[in-house]
Amino acid sequence: MNRLTMFGLVVVAVMAFAALFAPFIVKHDPGSIDLQNGLMPPSAGHIMGTDSLGRDLFSRMVFGARISLSVGFVAVGISVVAGVLFGSVAGYYGGWIDSAISRFIDIMLCFPTFFLILATIAVLGPSIWNIMVIIGLTSWMGVARLIRAEILSLKEREFVEAARAVGASDFRIITRHLIPNGIGPVLVSATLGVAGAILTESGLSFLGLGVQPPVPSWGNILTEAKSTLGIAWWITVFPGLAILITVLGYNLLGEGLREHFNPHRKQ
């Protein structure tokens, strides 16, 4: 494992730890308002300063990590399940089923994803659950193409023929033999997808269409930073760095996994 991949793994582990143990890490309530201490710069009492309402920024950042990572993992989980389902069926059965699913994937790819998300939120309303589901249901197409390509390659192998010879059902062949052997590229795509989902959620929250205050997320913390940029640099810098480092960490980890699962890598 190279240094960049190790860096990505460390970032992912630290962010996951912060999200899981957020209540034990922070010493301030992220929703506690103290107007007398509004817009305080970083200090010993508030290591990342406070916002305009006097809320501790470090506490809000840590709880924001929980929200951002939850959106990323749930959205990617939905996209992986949908993508593996469509892709495995298309790759295994081929014929008109493959053609129909492939054309459906092509149609979905024609839609501008971000604007489709915006339109759906306009109808359903902004909420964390809507964000998770919408991002997941608009990002499964790449996974479907990957698993379809893997299964097209694997389904003619000897171990699949042996499974058919002993009377294994199509469902068992797909779930027990094909998907486990073709899951490598999907894991890479899922890792990179978490980074994309975090960016999407942050963008939506920044626009006021994602996670709604007072629930903290990195995106809606940045929304407040627009009006305090000239007098409270920390409200911009810390959420921006958190998004940058987290997305970079997942991308580096994804590239490391891609290299690991590459069948043509140097031994």
List, in order of start, the domains of the chain with CATH numbers. Answer: 3-16+55-261 (1.10.3720.10)
- Secondary structure (DSSP) of 38-82: TTPPS-SSSTT-B-TT--BHHHHHHHHHHHHHHHHHHHHHHHHHH
Q: For position 116, what pLDDT does the model report?
A: 79
How far is the C-alpha of 157 from the C-alpha of 235, rounded, in Å?
56
Relative orientation angle of helices 184-206 and 234-261, to the nearest 10 degrees: 170
- Distance between CA 263 and CA 71 in Å, rounded? 32
Which bin fits 51, alpha (ψ -120 to 50), beta or left (φ > 0)? beta
Q: In the structure, what pLDDT confidence band is assigned to residue 111 with cuts at 50, 70 and 90?
A: confident
265 confidence band (pLDDT: 50, 70, 90): low
Among 42-46, 71-75, 186-190, 210-214, the range scoring the smallest mean pLDDT is 210-214
Q: In angstroms, rounded to a whole number, what is the distance separating the alpha carbons of residues 28 and 44?
A: 13
Q: Is the pLDDT of residue 114 over 90?
A: no
User: What sign results for the dihedral spanned by CA atoms 247, 253, 257, 260?
Assistant: positive
Instruction: Print burial letters for 197-217: b (CB count within 10 Å at least 16), e (below 16).
Output: bbbbbbbbbbeebbbeeebbb
How far is Cα 27 from Cα 8, in angstroms, rounded to an integer? 28
- pLDDT level of residue 120 (50, 70, 90 thresholds): confident
What average pLDDT does the structure give for the chain?
87
The pLDDT assigned to 266 comes to 47
Given this model, what pLDDT does residue 125 score? 78
